[in-house]
Amino acid sequence: MFSLDQLRLAREVLDRCRQQRLALVTAESCTGGLVAACLTAIPGSSAVFTTGFVTYSNAAKTAQLGVDPSLLAAEGAVTEAVSRAMAEGAVSRAGAAVAVGITGISGPGGGSPSKPVGLVHIAAARAGRTTIHQQCLFSGDRHAVRMRTVEAALALISRQLV
């Protein structure tokens, strides 16, 4: 299911968390839990991975992660601000040290000129550090967008762990 590169990145993230004694969580929308699945495909992941939030709807983002409903109403779900709020909310709500927040448009529908299919916002939060963000625009079908997002999310978490 996952590529060798994705599994290598997942192993790297888990190893860094283990070495630094950091708990890790995910907050996913367009990936529907694929980042959590990739992380937990690695034996021993339970030493650092504590939980994953799949918050597909705006209501779930608000209820589970504390994303401000006025932010969602003003900007929509697929924004840098929402990805940051998701990651920071996951750290806060799960009591973890590190989290990734992912929101995007996987397609094939749902895009617009300002937010096309393949647009993804990823944020990696770490307690005591500034949350980092990456905007991606992936091409391909729904599966390709989601799988490329998994790899990009793991790489961003890895950057937050340096």
Output the domain CATH number for residue 13.
Answer: 3.90.950.20
pLDDT tens digits, residue range 16-65?
999 999 999 999 999 999 999 999 999 999 999 999 999 999 999 999 99
pLDDT tens digits, residue range 107-153?
999 999 999 999 999 999 999 999 999 999 999 999 999 999 999 99
Number of domains comprising the chain? 1
| Rounded Cα–Cα distance for residues 161 and 4 (Å) | 21
Range of the domain at 61: 4-160
- State the pLDDT at residue 28: 98
pTM of the model: 0.97
**Helix, strand, or coil (residue 56):** coil
pLDDT tens digits, residue range 3-15?
999 999 999 999 9
- State the pLDDT at residue 124: 98
Phi and psi angles of residue 135, each rounded to the nearest 5 degrees, phi first: -100, 135
